[in-house]
Amino acid sequence: MTVHLGLDGYRHGWVVVRLLGGRREIDFMPGAAAALAGPFDRAAIDIPIGLPDHGERACDVAARALLRPHSSRVFTGARRGLWAHGTQAEANSALKARGEAMVSIQLWNIGPKICEVDAFITPDLQARIIETHPELVFRRLHGGAPLPSKKTAEGIALRRVLLRAAGFAELDDWLSTARRGSGAKIDDVLDACAAALAARDACDVLPQGDVPRDARGLAMQIWY
């Protein structure tokens, strides 16, 4: 039986969706490494993997272009050493001083999750652990058409329809479970489902062509 995992970060840890052949499971784990400790064929994580020392990642730039007019759904500027600064203001001051683009509060806030994954990922592990972005997966499921924001009722409803069509018959029960006490939001669960589909399908990747790598040899690619 093939096992594919989708991981999306939330306030208390990670939402983990498992595709086990025709069966689907959901879990809420405190750490990404623990979530990946069991056997699996491929996992997809909604977090930047591979961090340049300077500048923007080509995969983020390509993803923003593909998601137009909703380019802001991709947070650019993740780079190694950024979170050594104590605050976003300090980080942006240092970036401005060396002539680089500053980072958003959204990217800054997911820094602990980025650093958590960066601490254990290796080029060898990337053979089975890939980076994804749920918005690219939902765009694929929607025939390449843009979707309303996942923060709106319309956007949530459409994503639920797309996931049910992709085989997530358990979705309503999962969302009820999440609301009852995990601390995960509806969109966290939806995004973890999309990540699991990216792990299973890995239909396409950004950027195309040669694989950019960071100083540690980590591929900087977004699969969807």
- Domain ranges, ordered by start, for the chain: 3-49+126-201, 58-123
What's the pLDDT at 1? 86
Average pLDDT across each block of 10 residues of the chain; the chain has 224 residues. List them in order: 96 95 93 93 97 94 95 91 92 91 92 95 97 98 96 96 95 81 88 98 94 97 98
Contact residues for 222 (Cβ-Cβ < 8 A; gap 6+): 59, 60, 62, 63, 131, 132, 133, 136, 205, 206
pTM across the whole model: 0.93
What's the pLDDT at 181? 67
What distance, in Å, lies between the first and last C-alpha atoms of the chain?
22
Give the Cα separation of 133 and 170 in Å (integer).
22
Report strand pairing: 23-29 vs 42-45. Answer: unpaired
Q: Which residue has the tokens 């390449």?
A: 144
- CA angle at residue 45 from 41 to 204, to 5 degrees? 75
Residue 72 is predicted with a pLDDT of: 87
